[in-house]
Amino acid sequence: MTSGNNMLEGKTIILGITGSIAAFKGADIASKLTRAGANVTVVMTEPACRFITPLTLESITGNQAVTSLWQETGGINHITLAEKADMVLIAPATASIIARLAGGFADDLLSCLVLATKSPVVIAPAMHTAMYENKLTGQNIQKLKECGFMIVEPGEGRLASGAYGKGRLADVEVIIGAVKLKLGVNGDLAGKKIVVTAGGTRESLDPVRYIGNRSSGKTGYEIAQAARNRGACVKLVTTAGLPGETVGMEVFEIEAAQDMLVTVRELVKDADCLIMAAAVADFKPEKPLSSKMKKSDRAVNIKLIPVPDILSEVKGKFLRVGFAAETENLEYNARLKMKNKDLDLVVANDVSGKGAGFGSDYNKVTLIYRDQTTKDYPLMAKSHVADILLDEIAGLF
Ligand code: PMT
């Protein structure tokens, strides 16, 4: 199985930490990469060691942290590290390291190894807003981009100085998403345009209330991230506020089924595949109220009318992958949906099972093909389901 969501397994990542107040977040980055199965070696500049100790990073990664060209490691530090790296990530990256890299300097271990490596380099700047917005920093960042470096834009927020503005190190999840995007760019789905829907649609009852469902969006997000990690161009159509980073994806936030229909119909025009993981409403209130329904002690009758079936409405040459959320007669109902919605592949999942389906981190799925081939899988993590599904889709391509 090609692993999109577990793609860091066994990868060697050199994590450069420089002298920013955000250096302490390097420990969290090192920890998350290590837990994801990567082999992380931390390289620290001298100023970084004033914010966090090499010992901390060694304890997290299990590898010797390297702080100098002259440190005894049994090899020529900058060459050994440059050659063994699958990726060099510098997070946080100060204005100083950015300027030195842009100038092709090789005056310390980190700048030497970046100059020596043929592997992808990801830079996550962190500095005071005025420094980040300085033209000189902007020119240096632009030059690095032109040289193929990936820059992870800093966030906005409270800075060390107490001021508020752009310059905070990007969220760790976003930085790791960027690492996966950069590492997976030539993956087995490279060049494929995949539209993924996620989450539960919301059908308005009045300006305050809606009829929704228990979908958390996890399934759709895991599929979108795994596809991105395997090089696909991912367009994610999602109901608001769902879990997970969406680095490198085009995200379309919608609420109601009708909005999802309009958006999906547009996006599939040049898509290779549509994966409908979203829990789309089947019904909506016929007459949503324009003002909040007042509390009363009398029963309230709400007339529900059908909403369009997106999979039935959108046609085209793309691969059509649907889900079937069932609580009984799983295969029978899934095959019916396969036929009615003209699907190439349906992911049948029993959402009545404890710990599977809506909101859970796990799902138990049966894949059914147009030719009626069936593949049944045990309960497993949704990240694993995503990679299995994408393996099957890659095969159908
Ligand atoms: O989001 P999670 O918490 O991770 O939960 C995952 C999930 C249970 C939502 C997911 O695994 C799932 O089953 N999604 C499909 C839910 C659903 O709407 O199933 P359905 O059997 O009602 O619809 C069948 C297919 O038609 C689905 O692909 C659905 O997206 C699509 N559909 C449904 C209604 C509609 N009006 N238009 C559609 O295109």
Residue 34 CB coordination number (10 Å) = 18
Centre of ligand 1 to C-alpha 37, Å, is 32
Handedness of CA 117, 119, 120, 125 (dihedral sign): negative
Tell me the pLDDT tens digit for each residue of 334-355.
999 999 999 999 999 988 877 7
Predicted model pTM: 0.93
pLDDT above 80 for 357? no
Ligand 1 pocket mutation pick from 276, 335, 365 by most atoms within 8 angstroms of CB: 276
pLDDT at 359: 79
The mean per-residue pLDDT over the stretch 195-219 comes to 95
Mean pLDDT (whole number) for 4-25: 94
Q: Which ligand 1 atom is the nearest neighbour of the CA of 359?
A: 3
Exposure b/e, 121-138, CB count within 10 A at least 16 = b: bbbbbbbbbebbeeeebe
| Ligand 1 center to 124 CA (angstroms) | 37
Q: Above 60 in pLDDT, residue 230?
A: yes
- Per-residue pLDDT of 78-122, as tens digits, reads 999 999 999 999 999 999 999 999 999 999 999 999 999 999 999
Tally of helices (H runs) and strands (E runs) in the chain: 13, 21
Q: Residue 201 has what pLDDT?
A: 97
In the chain, % of residues over pLDDT 90: 87
Q: Which atom of ligand 1 is nearest to the CA of 222?
A: 4
Which pLDDT tens digit goes with each residue over 293-315?
998 899 989 999 999 999 999 99
Is the Cβ atom of 322 under 6 angstroms away from ligand 1?
yes
CB 83 within 8 A of CB 117: yes
Q: Classify 175 as helix, strand or coil.
A: helix
Whether 321 lines ligand 1, by a CB cut-off of 6 Å, is no
Other beta carbons less than 10 A from residue 147's beta carbon: 11
CA distances from 60 to 23, 39, 55, 109, 194 (A): 14, 11, 9, 21, 37
User: Residue 351: CB within 6 Å of ligand 1?
Assistant: yes
pLDDT at res. 1: 53
Residue 211 in this model has a pLDDT that exceeds 60: yes
Closest residue by CA, ligand 1 atom 22: 325
Whether ligand 1 lies within 6 angstroms of the CB of 260 is answered as no
Which tokens in the block code for residue 332?
């029978």
325 lines ligand 1 (CB under 6 A): yes
Mean pLDDT for 49-74 is 95
Residue nearest to atom 33 of ligand 1 (CA): 280
Query: What is the set of active-site residues?
Result: 213
- Of the chain, the percentage scoring pLDDT greater than 70 comes to 99
Best mutation site among 203, 215, 315 for ligand 1, i.e. most ligand atoms within 8 A of its Cβ?
Answer: 215
Report d(CA 36, CA 49) in Å as an integer.
Answer: 25
Q: Give the pLDDT confidence score for residue 74 in this predicted structure.
A: 85
Tell me if 283 CB under 6 Å of ligand 1.
no
In the reported structure, the alpha carbon of residue 201 is separated from the centroid of ligand 1 by a whole-number distance in angstroms of: 10
Tell me how far CA of residue 302 lies from CA of 64, 88, 289, in angstroms.
65, 58, 11
Residue 215 near ligand 1, beta carbon < 6 Å: yes
DSSP label at residue 19 = S
Q: Is 65 in the pocket of ligand 1 (CB under 6 A)?
A: no
Please give the number of the atom of ligand 1 that sits closest to the Cα of 322. 28
